[in-house]
Structure 1
Amino acid sequence: MDTRARGALYGLAIGDALGMPTQSLSRERIVARYGARLTGFAPGEADQPIAPNMRAGSVTDDTEQAVLVGRLLVDGGGHIAPTHLASELLAWEKAMAARGSLDLLGPSTKRAVAAVAAGVPVAETGRYGDTNGAAMRVAPVGIAVPGEDLPALVDRVVEASAVSHNTGVALAAASAVAAAVSAGLEGATVELATRHAIDAARLGARRGYWIAGADIATRIAWATALVGGLPADVAAERIYQLVGTSVHSTESVPAAFAVLSVYPDDPWQAVLLAASLGGDCDTIAAMAGAIAGAVHGIQGFPTAAVDTVRDINQLDLDRLAGQLLELRGQAQLNTTKV
């Protein structure tokens, strides 16, 4: 299970770093510059609107916020206090801005932490958050929490997400990613992990505030069926044109699962494809990478790619993976005692 936990975190970071130079670009522009699919890490070009001149292999907010969530889980013995998460996210953004980064908090999270700072009760701060910020950083919850009891897993997802994304749409999306990661750690295939994700999304959709939006569980099932069996380049066009690749949970999360259905047995090709889609493709690749890494383990990615994201970003994901697994073991022990 250790290799799968490490695979989830490194898969997230690898996907994120691959998508760093292509994020927020159109697919047409990506194809013109990099070809139909990326072949490896690339630097952020000078005209990259979010990550100009960044070194090839550099991660973005997806990995940094996931690590932040993981560390808060460890510090809290498996639980995250919403106010603590909000203050840590605010401090993270200030540090990023001080470094001159343009990769700051997303719209839902930024609105929520500002509301917390203004004294709005945390039960209210995330009531309009419908973007993918919760889903992109939730993988550590999937590592730390067993998935056999899906309602309990969704409870922990809500705890880690509601301060900024307290809507049924966003919680369904985050629940899907966490459940797929958790299932992968237990040996599930991509197909089985996707089924767990759909079940968890149905539960998550009942939590938080209602807002108008397509049903995440239905969208995941539809998106995976839409591209199953298609050549990768054809599938990429369908995902981009029909599923969508924006920051909205209803698009980017189903897109990540669609990518996995194209390459269920090849994590590296899955994240290369995801990072080549366009739109919020660093986040799509990060989510796909976390799930694929949980299913296949860290050995599913080239050793050179693992070394690159570790060395360039000075990440200690191996240690964090071990700490999150300790939380998972403790949770399983407590369940056995009950």
Structure 2
Amino acid sequence: MNARDRALGAFTGLAVGDALGMPTQSMSRAAIAAAYGPVTGLLTAVAEQPVAPSMPAGSVTDDTEQAVLLARLLIDGRGTVEPQVFADALLIWEADMIRRGSADLLGPSTKRALTRLQDGVPAEEAGRTGTTNGAAMRVTPVGIATPSEDLHALVDAVAATARVTHNTSLGIASAAAVAATVSAGVEGASLAEALDAGERAAVVGGERGHWAAGGEIAARITWARGWVRGMAPAAVADAVARVIGTSVASQESVVAAFALAEAMGDDPPAALRLAAGLGGDTDTVAAICGAMLGAAHGVGAFRPDVVETVLSVNRLEFGPLVDELLALRRRTGQSQRTY
């Protein structure tokens, strides 16, 4: 298994997790059980689905779409994305989602930040209240494109893409944790080593941006991983849904993804199915968990028929994106060594 296989696994895991969580997003755990029973695979959303009513099985949401958007911007910008360019691209994306009749639009932190930016607020200030998981859900391409050897350089790259919408200690720390886990996995780290890298990056990221009140991301990841280690799946589900939380708050949903990766990381499909049944921001929890597990285990961690369905339904092709992102990674690594 090489870096390309792991990078492809990260993007594929993101999309598979997203698609598994699509039909259950924003529903309670009880409502999910009543509507679908146990989540055993890709499902068509019920008509009562609050965000994606009757959406076909295998469809992805904003998590995958914004990650693909960010990947393309990174490639076009040769590793950098100007704040206004990113803001404009996000607004164009949302307009297209509205045209398609989707209710999966920009999250609260992103929408608020872009409104401020349009009102003339500087990019550095626009995202000063963004503490939700939007930066973390789309950050996988940054992890693929950036080596993790220098965590400060990696967090710099993360902060550059989070700043315009989630320029807070919680927003940047959560995105840095996901990006570092993905990056370490692409480099060949074991899952445990990759999750450790995510914890360390969260410490660095927590020192960036505007301070925001809330449990620190790094500390909560450390606690959650230690708590769920060795738990049976049913106990993990209760621990995540009832105590850690699955809301859009980054200190809940991102930490939940780490807890699932720690407890069930040896069986990625089972981890993502469980994530989809937890209630709350299921698509994002499953997408982040899938990206991290895919980076550690490679694309072969996911059932080929499920992957084929997700790629086909959404007309996705990750190979060219991954190749370009890995080319950026090689150039970044060379420039760091030269420096």
Give the TM-score category using the shorter length: over 0.9
| Residue correspondence of structure 1 range 198-213 to structure 2 within 5 A | 198-213=199-214
Matched-pair identity in %: 53
Amino acid in the other structure paired with 2:13: G
Residue identity opposite 1:88 in structure 2: A
SS in 2 for 1:21: helix
Which amino acid letter does the alignment assign opposite residue 30 of structure 1? Answer: I
Question: 2:12 is matched with which residue: 7, 10, 13?
Answer: 10
1:30: how far off?
A: 1.7
Q: How far apart, in 1, do the equivalents of 2:31 and 2:257 lie?
A: 20
Cross-structure match for 2:29: 27
CA distance in 2, matches of 1:192, 1:278: 29
1:33 positional shift: 3.1
- Paired position in structure 2 for 1:231: 232
Q: Which position in structure 2 is the counterpart of 1:308? A: 309
Q: CA deviation at 1:73?
A: 0.4
What is the aligned length? 337
| 1:228-267 equivalence runs, <5 A | 228-267=229-268
Paired AA for residue 157 in structure 1: V
Alignment of 1:169-184 (within 5 A): 169-184=170-185
**C-alpha contact (below 8 Å) 1:191/1:264 kept by paired residues:** no
Q: Which residue of 2 aligns with 1:323?
A: 324
Q: Does 1:296 align with 2:297?
A: yes
Q: Which amino acid aligns with 1:231?
A: A
Q: Distance in 2 between matches of 1:7 and 1:241?
A: 30
The aligned residue for residue 168 of structure 1 is 169
- 1:112, 1:164 within 8 Å by CA — same for their partners in 2? yes
- Structure 1 unaligned regions, length at least 5: none
Q: Is the 8 A contact 2:35 2:46 kept in 1?
A: no
Task: Give a deviation string over 1:127-169, Cα, whole Å, max 9, x none.
Answer: 0000000000000000000000000000000001110000001
* Larger displacement relative to structure 2 (100-109 or 270-279): 270-279
Residue type of the alignment partner of 1:261: E
Q: Deviations over 1:150-199 (max 9, x none)?
A: 00000000001110000001100000000000010111122111111110
1:77-92 matches, cutoff 5 A: 77-92=78-93
Alignment partner of 1:149 is 2:133 = no
Q: Give 5+ residue unaligned stretches, structure 2.
A: none
Q: Which 10-residue stretch deviates more, 269-278 or 153-162?
A: 269-278
Alpha-carbon distance between aligned partners in 2 of 1:271 and 1:330, rounded to the nearest angstrom: 33
Displacement of 1:275: 1.3
Q: TM-score, normalised to structure 1's length?
A: 0.98
Helix, strand or coil at the partner of 1:163: helix
- State the shift of 1:8 in Å: 0.4
Shift of 1:305: 1.2
SS in 2 for 1:162: helix
**1:67 partnered with 2:68:** yes
Q: Which amino acid aligns with 1:103?
A: D
Q: Which amino acid aligns with 1:53?
A: S
Alignment of 1:116-155 (within 5 A): 116-155=117-156
RMSD (Å) for aligned C-alpha atoms: 0.9
Q: 2:155 touches 2:205 (CA, 8 Å); kept in 1?
A: yes
Contact 1:71 1:320 in 2 (8 A): yes
Residue 276 of structure 2: aligned partner: 275
Moved more, 310-319 or 240-249: 310-319
* Distance across 1 between alignment mates of 2:170 and 2:25: 23
